[in-house]
Amino acid sequence: MSRTVVVVGSSIGGVRAAQALRSEGFDGRVVLVGEEAQAPYDKPPLSKQFLAGEWDADRTLLLSEEAAERAGIELRLGVAATRLDVAGRQVLLADGSRLDYDAVVIATGAAARPSPWRPGSGVHVVRTLQDSQALQADLQHDGPVVVVGGGFIGAEVAGTARGLGREVTVVDPLPTPIGRVVGPEIGRYFTELHHRHGVSTRFGVGVEEITGSAGDLRVRLTDGTELPAGTVVVGIGAVPNDGWLADSGVPIDNGVLCDEYSRAVDAPDVYAIGDVARWFHPGHREHVRVEHWTNAVEQGMCAAHNITHPDDLRSYRPVEYVWSDQYDWKAQIVGRPTRGTRHELVGDLAGEKPRAAALYTDDTGRLCGAVTVNWPKALAQSRRLVTEGATFDDAMARVSALPPPAARPAPVPAAGGRP
């Protein structure tokens, strides 16, 4: 008897899970449900190439209707899932229809944390294609841009806006950007990166109020100063899209609580992947939720394997990895630098051609994470060493012995003069 798998969520995790079901040999029915009406698209370019006007929407496409048909994946787009009936094995949709399932994959991701400041207009978040299009339109006008939040999204939007010729200020209550991830010492290099590209920063101070409307906004900070802005972008984190599961009986605690196989606790035919999943990591011996593109892809593949091969279950125990393109830096992070008690820097982040790796160790004396900039070989080596559980001293010796990367060609200016 043919089985049906319903995948709820049409971003990268859901798409890759649906495709992986086929590559794993699943021959039943696969239905991919998406709240947005447009074909599934990739989100990292929304704060960079698409926002800058260098890419059109087609270039962000993850799965066309033709490709879905070839793979035997049914698309139900433009309709949100509103409820999960675990006992009845059904997904209820906003149009009143129901989808029966033998297994369901929850891949609804996370939403941008809403702005607590609500002026008349001109305040944006960046999470969807529609968000990026709205911000793109505002960035065509003159006027300063204030970015609230110095994390990955904030930094990438700041770089894009600056490349479009806007005057940009980044505000964050932390003393350095992405300090929660890399620590204050390495974070200072990211502050200098903003300054070298003409972006102003106000770190260590929060936003108290935003008033006005698009083109004429005032951002009042907690130290009493005011910043004029034509446009404000708020990037203050994300929250898992798990509200539609509130009465399902599936355990929710900062995401869907899962076992090491990505199965929802006490609901073995329900899987959760990506930003919405909080699963038990066998290596860390704790439940974790990870908001990274790579994690969504890899967890989707793991869930697809376990659905297709229930007698050969694989635990999901990744080494974390995330990247961010900021100005002329490609920053790549592996492992868990936040667990480090000290770090050492190999290379240079202050020169004209910065390339370096910051290696982090914890109380065990092992390598627990690394941050690399413009150094792919150091990233590959560090990821391998974290996976192997290498000692910090051994990691320092191996990374220090790596040859420097080949010189990168000078960027070719695009239309408008932005590299």
Structural domains of the chain, count: 3
The structure tokens 């990247």 sit at 323
CATH number at residue 77: 3.50.50.60
- Whether 52 is covered by a domain: the verdict is yes
- Average pLDDT for residues 343-366, to the nearest whole number? 92
Residue 97 has pLDDT above 70, yes or no: yes
Q: How is residue 366 annotated by DSSP?
A: B
Query: Does 218 lie in the same domain as 147?
Result: yes
Query: For residue 8, what are the contacts with CB-CB under 8 A and spacing of at least 6?
Result: 14, 33, 81, 91, 104, 105, 106, 107, 108
pLDDT of residue 1: 56
Looking at the DSSP bridge assignments, the partners of residue 2 are none
Is residue 272 within 8 A of residue 261, CB to CB? The reply is no
- CA–CA dist 178, 374 (Å, integer): 17
**Integer Cα distance of 11 and 327 in angstroms:** 26
175 and 243 co-located in one domain: no
Residue 323 lies in a domain: no
Q: Does residue 90 sit in the same domain as residue 163? A: no
Spell out the residues 6+ positions from residue 395 whose beta carbon is closer than 8 angstroms to its own.
359, 367, 370, 382, 385
CA dist 254 and 367 (Å) reads 28
C-beta of residue 84 within 8 angstroms of C-beta of residue 245: yes
Average pLDDT over residues 283-307: 96
Predicted local distance difference test score (pLDDT) of residue 415: 33
Q: Is residue 280 part of a domain?
A: yes
Sign of CA dihedral 153, 238, 58, 273: positive
Q: Determine the pLDDT at residue 135.
A: 97
- Give the pLDDT confidence score for residue 236 in this predicted structure: 95
Contact partners, residue 281, CB within 8 Å, separation at least 6: 260, 287, 288, 316, 317, 318
Last residue of some domain: 250, 276, 308?
308
Same domain, 33 and 98: yes
Distance, in Å, from the CA atom of 48 to the CA atom of 156, rounded to the nearest integer, reads: 6
- Among 236, 266, 284, the domain-final residue is 236
In the predicted model, what is the mean pLDDT of the chain?
94
Spatial distance between the Cα atoms of 127 and 125, rounded to a whole number of angstroms: 6
Tell me: pLDDT of 132 over 90.
Answer: yes
The share of the chain scoring above pLDDT 90, in percent, equals 92
Is 39 found in the same domain as 22? yes
The helix/strand/coil state of 310 is: coil
Q: What span, in angstroms and rounded, lies between the C-alpha atoms of 261 and 272?
A: 10
d(Cα 382, Cα 255) in Å, to the nearest integer? Answer: 29
Confirm whether 319 is domain-assigned: no
Q: String of b and e for 370-383 (b: at least 16 CB within 10 Å)?
A: bbbbbbebbbebbb
The predicted-structure confidence for 228-249, as pLDDT tens digits, reads as follows 999 999 999 999 999 999 999 9
282 and 354 inside one domain: no
Instruction: Please write the tens of the pLDDT for every residue from 380-397.
Output: 999 999 999 999 999 999
Q: Is the residue at 314 inside a domain?
A: no
Q: Strand, helix or coil at 171?
A: strand
Q: 13 exposed, middle or buried (CB, 10 Å; 0-12, 13-18, 19+)?
A: buried
Residue 410 has pLDDT above 70, yes or no: no
Report the interhelical angle of 376-388 vs 392-400 (nearest 10°): 160
Residue 14 burial by Cβ neighbours in a 10 Å radius (0-12, 13-18, 19+): buried
For 60-116, the DSSP string reads: GBS--HHHHHHHTEEEEES--EEEEETTTTEEEETTS-EEE-SEEEE---EEEPPPS
| pLDDT number for residue 284 | 93
Does some domain include residue 278? yes
In this structure, the answer to whether residues 118 and 232 fall within a common structural domain is: yes
Confidence of residue 411 (pLDDT cuts 50, 70, 90): very low
CATH at 395: 3.30.390.30
Which is it for strands 207-213 and 216-221: parallel, antiparallel or unpaired?
antiparallel
- Annotate 53-69 with b (16+ C-beta within 10 A) or e (fewer): bbeeeeebebbeeeebe
**What are the beta bridge partners of residue 228?**
218
Length of the chain: 419
Same domain, 245 and 106: yes
Structural domain containing residue 136: 114-236
pLDDT at 413 over 50: no
Q: Tell me, yes or no, whether 411 lies in a domain.
A: no
Q: Is the pLDDT of residue 405 over 80?
A: no
- 141 and 172 in a single domain? The answer is yes
Task: Answer yes or no: is pLDDT of 5 > 80.
Answer: yes
Same domain assignment for residues 222 and 247: no
Per the listing, tokens 């560090």 go with: 382
Q: Are residues 130 and 99 in the same domain?
A: no
Instruction: Using the predicted structure, report yes or no on whether residue 207 has a pLDDT greater than 80.
Output: yes
122 in the same domain as 83: no
Q: What's the burial of 286, exposed, middle or buried (CB within 10 Å: 0-12/13-18/19+)?
A: exposed
Q: Judge whether 68 lies within some domain.
A: yes
Structure tokens at 127: 């999470």
- Report the C-alpha gap between 373 and 247 in whole angstroms: 45
